[in-house]
Structure 1
Amino acid sequence: MPVEAMPKRTVAAAIVAALALTLTGCSMETTSPGAARDQAGKAGSDAKPLTAHGGVDCDEAKCIALTFDAGPGKDTPQLLDTLKAKKVHATFFLLGKNHVLKHPDVVRRIADEGHEVANHTWSHRRLDELSTDEIRDELSRTQDAIAEITGRKPTLMRPPQGRINDDVTEVSRELGLAQVLWSATAKDYSTTDSELIKSRILDQAGRDGIILLHDIYDGTVPAVPGIIDELKKRGYAFVTVPELLEPGKANPGEVYRP
């Protein structure tokens, strides 16, 4: 069931439970952004940090990645206007059914304006409850739909509710997708209070962090300008998830979490 079609109380309860699992003791081995950079250095990589968006080296700068799940939606163009005005690039984990298919021009704009386009499955089903073939269908259909619009298949995915198991990892590896979790969430599915959303993110923000928001909920997009302005005052540099890992790269199947 698409996330926006679920009863709000059901969504909230499910995601709260998932956050408890994901953020306090996921049994899957994970790699932090700093570890990804260190591993690349120890391997003697000649790669250098990305410079397309300001030459940020996250070993030196206090980096943070802004990510949005489950869009695009009606408010995504407004969000893109904000990001453009504030010279911030984000990572968008897009839903295929009712989102990518419904808003192809917005998907194209996300890519054209330098944001990272990523995969959040086709219909927001919990992947850990599906067969291998069903997992593959959920991810590959969105891969194909995005590629049809942007000309490029994503290299990152975020599992709905952060639910991961060995089958999800294996299919992700097969499809060339790294799995990306998060360190800060506003629980914006449970409130329309933009000030509350902002304060929750600011309270959890940290170096090498990955912020999870949803551009489909009414209170979220209005909260973004204040989040960006305050974190910039605190000395943070906004980067996409691939930039956060540079000179390391997101390896297919691997799970990345601050």
Structure 2
Amino acid sequence: MRNAARAAHRTRAPTALVTAAALASALSGCGGGDVAPRDGATQQVPSASGTVAGAARSPGGSVDCRRTRCVALTFDDSPSVRTPRILDILRRYRVHATFFTLGKNHVLRDPGTVRRMAAEGHEVETLTWSHRILTGISPADARKEITRGREAVAKVIGRRPLLLRPPQGRTNATVTAICRQLGMAQVLWSATASDYETTDSALITRRILARTGPGGIILLHDRVDPTNRGYNGTVAAIAGILASLEARGYTFVTVTRLLAPAGPRPGEVYRDGPLGP
């Protein structure tokens, strides 16, 4: 438990599950609006751990984010032809990230990059099978989207993802119930650059720096979309984002490490860590 002085400085109290009404009022990433709803839960329970392709289930070393200015860097739509370049940059800065992968035409097409993510200590999670909006399809189809995406990762690295990023950050009570049954938590974000709509790497950098706070979850994309001129500035922005936030005293960790020593709770929705804004 944090002491009274720290609690007094929190800008908001943690809330329970993000409600469907709150989520319906805002669009989000992967082609939606800017920032996911800011009332995601920060409840914690003991997390599962294990090893994946020689990498820890909870990468990020022994950093204690209750005492350190932590931030989690996440990427959606992985892997793509740009992902190896991103991995090179992350390795140079000794940063671990969380990749939310798509099964169809991504994980199945490029399993080597997925194995590299895990081997280099990154967290490999799921963005579903084909990026269908879970709140707009039947419960049976939503469950299939989640489980097919999860199994695609498991076939490559030998571990089932425990974290789901709902496409466009859209979730509701039905999706939450499915995730609870599957033992998966839902991860949104607190900072995004809307890099799907601009190629300006300087603008992407400024947006992330302006929107990132302790315990935050950053959303970027590494996919290639031939019908959209966006995403092309993301790779060029990463080094500047890493260097600038490290200069401000931030330590980059995976989402699971951000929530340690407890961990993500199945069905719960998170947009930041326990000490987030």
Q: TM-score range by the shorter chain?
A: 0.7 to 0.9
**Among residues 79, 86, 94, which one is paired with 2:86 in the alignment?**
79
TM-score by length of 1: 0.84
Q: Which runs of 5+ in 1 are unaligned?
A: 1-10
Shift of 1:53: 3.4
Structure 2 residue aligned with 1:120: 127
CA distance in 2, matches of 1:14, 1:176: 27
**Among residues 127, 136, 139, which one is paired with 2:146 in the alignment?**
139
Deviation digits for residues 86-142 of structure 1, max 9, x if unmatched? 100000000111111111100111111110011101111110011111011101111
Q: For the structure 1 residues 13 and 149, does the alpha-carbon distance in structure 2 shift closer, same or farther, using more than 3 Å as the test?
A: closer
CA distance in 2, matches of 1:176, 1:100: 21
Q: For the structure 1 residues 52 and 159, does the alpha-carbon distance in structure 2 shift closer, same or farther, using more than 3 Å as the test?
A: closer
Q: Note if 1:153 corresponds to 2:160.
A: yes
Q: Note if 1:224 corresponds to 2:241.
A: no
Q: For the structure 1 residues 146 and 57, does the alpha-carbon distance in structure 2 shift closer, same or farther, using more than 3 Å as the test?
A: same
Q: Note if 1:237 corresponds to 2:251.
A: yes
Corresponding letter in the other structure for 1:224: I
Counterpart of 1:200 in 2: which secondary structure? helix
**Among residues 92, 95, 113, which one is paired with 1:106 in the alignment?**
113
Q: Note if 1:23 corresponds to 2:37.
A: yes
Q: For the structure 1 residues 14 and 70, does the alpha-carbon distance in structure 2 shift closer, same or farther, using more than 3 Å as the test?
A: closer
Deviation digits for residues 198-218 of structure 1, max 9, x if unmatched? 110001110000000001221
Which has the larger share of helix?
1
Deviation digits for residues 163-212 of structure 1, max 9, x if unmatched? 01111011111222100010000000000111111110001110000000
Structure 1 residue aligned with 2:260: 246
CA distance in 2, matches of 1:64, 1:129: 31
Q: Note if 1:213 corresponds to 2:213.
A: no
Is contact 1:194–1:223 with CA below 8 Å preserved after alignment? yes
Corresponding letter in the other structure for 2:32: I
Structure 2 residue aligned with 1:61: 68
Shift of 1:54: 3.9
When the two structures are aligned, how many residues end up with a matched partner?
Answer: 230
Is contact 2:29–2:168 with CA below 8 Å preserved after alignment? no
Counterpart of 2:159 in 1: which secondary structure? coil
CA distance in 2, matches of 1:239, 1:115: 9
Corresponding letter in the other structure for 1:15: G
Structure 2 residue aligned with 1:175: 182
Deviation digits for residues 23-58 of structure 1, max 9, x if unmatched? 26x6xxx313xx53xx77xxxx9x9xx996342111
Corresponding letter in the other structure for 2:145: E
Corresponding letter in the other structure for 2:100: F
CA distance in 1, matches of 2:72, 2:92: 17
Shift of 1:71: 1.3
CA distance in 1, matches of 2:105, 2:168: 19
Q: CA RMSD in A?
A: 2.2
CA distance in 2, matches of 1:78, 1:54: 23
Is contact 1:12–1:190 with CA below 8 Å preserved after alignment? no
Identity of aligned residues (%): 52
CA distance in 1, matches of 2:121, 2:31: 32
Corresponding letter in the other structure for 1:63: C
TM-score by length of 2: 0.78
Stretches of 4+ aligned residues off by more than 4 angstroms: 11-14
